[in-house]
């Protein structure tokens, strides 16, 4: 069963949410997407989770996809974190008997890591894929505070998202993928990354996943985050021939199976 909603977030910005429920759910996953994309790109992952009787909540970040808000813009570091918390709270409230997990990719990986740091003890665990948790590539943090927040930068991530040319082609044609992002987004998320780097209190169970050939988010981000966090239950998988979107790579079924196995072991 699928339900689509528009819900006002903590500050009233309308967020698009999709909820997919199997017949007998045994756990819940909240999917947090990346920069300039949208929740619809996680349909295959959602279908695989549903096959394992895992209920899925997806949402479009503010300014992304079908959600409201200024396009590809944040005013401060807490907006993305608190939107993620708001949707996760809905999942927790609506499923009181089920463990809730989170899967975050890329910028959504930052959101997941920051959520786990700011909001300890609320969910069962997190899977973070290609998370920009340190920004060793300076994709985000190179934009200084002196730049006009409304400055737009072209989205040139397409060729780096995946080694599968069909995924790259579809990415470019997708009308819900952003063609630009703003300095304001970079400044806000950059502040969040610096805060995350300084605040090393994350202690959730976590599975970190990264493609070794990721040119968008440096795999060193995941290595550094893994070393810094306080989690006693932490695992890391680096996929040798994969680029940024490990859930869309040629080995995506193996990657997804690894994530689901990790979640199922902790239900």
Tens digits of per-residue pLDDT, 177-188? 999 999 999 999
Q: What is the pLDDT of residue 157?
A: 83
Look up residue 155 and give its two tokens. 């989205």
The tens digit of pLDDT for each residue in 145-191 reads: 999 999 999 998 878 899 999 999 999 999 999 999 999 999 999 99
With contact defined as beta carbons under 8 Å apart, do 110 and 133 qualify? yes
Name the residue ranges covered by the structural domains of the chain: 2-265
Q: What is the pLDDT of residue 159?
A: 81
Q: How far apart, in whole angstroms, are the C-alpha atoms of residue 69 and residue 74?
A: 9
**Tokens 């040319």 — which residue?**
165
Q: How far apart, in whole angstroms, are the C-alpha atoms of residue 124 and residue 74?
A: 28
Segments in the chain below pLDDT 50:
none
Q: How far apart, in whole angstroms, are the C-alpha atoms of residue 202 and residue 133?
A: 12
Q: What is the pLDDT of residue 171?
A: 94
Name the superfamily (CATH) of residues 2-265. Alpha/Beta hydrolase fold, catalytic domain (3.40.50.1820)
Look up residue 98 and give its two tokens. 């089920």
The helix-helix angle for 183-198 and 107-118 (nearest 10°) equals 40
């Amino acid at each position: 069963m699928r339900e689509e909603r528009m819900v006002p977030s903590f500050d009233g910005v309308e967020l698009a949410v999709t909820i997919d429920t199997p017949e007998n759910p045994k756990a819940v996953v909240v999917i947090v997407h990346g920069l300039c994309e949208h929740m619809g790109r996680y349909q295959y992952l959602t279908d695989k989770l549903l096959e394992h009787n895992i209920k899925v909540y997806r949402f479009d970040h503010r300014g992304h996809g079908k959600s409201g808000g200024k396009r590809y813009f944040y005013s401060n570091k807490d907006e993305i974190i608190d939107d993620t918390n708001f949707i996760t709270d809905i999942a927790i409230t609506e499923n009181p008997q089920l463990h809730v997990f989170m899967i975050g990719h890329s910028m959504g990986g930052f959101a997941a890591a920051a959520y786990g740091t700011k909001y300890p003890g609320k969910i069962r665990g997190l899977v973070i894929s290609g998370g920009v948790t340190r920004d060793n590539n300076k994709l985000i943090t190179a934009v200084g505070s002196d730049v006009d927040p409304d400055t737009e930068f072209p989205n040139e991530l397409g060729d780096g998202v995946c080694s599968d040319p069909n995924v790259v082609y579809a990415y470019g044609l997708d009308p819900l993928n952003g063609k630009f992002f703003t300095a304001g987004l970079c400044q806000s998320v950059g502040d969040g990354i610096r805060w995350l780097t300084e605040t090393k209190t994350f202690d959730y169970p976590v599975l970190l996943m990264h493609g070794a050939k990721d040119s968008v988010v440096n795999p060193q981000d995941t290595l550094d985050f893994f070393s810094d966090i306080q989690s006693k239950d932490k695992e890391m998988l680096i996929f040798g021939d994969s680029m940024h979107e490990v859930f869309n790579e040629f080995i995506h079924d193996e990657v997804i199976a690894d994530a689901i196995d990790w979640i199922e072991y902790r239900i």
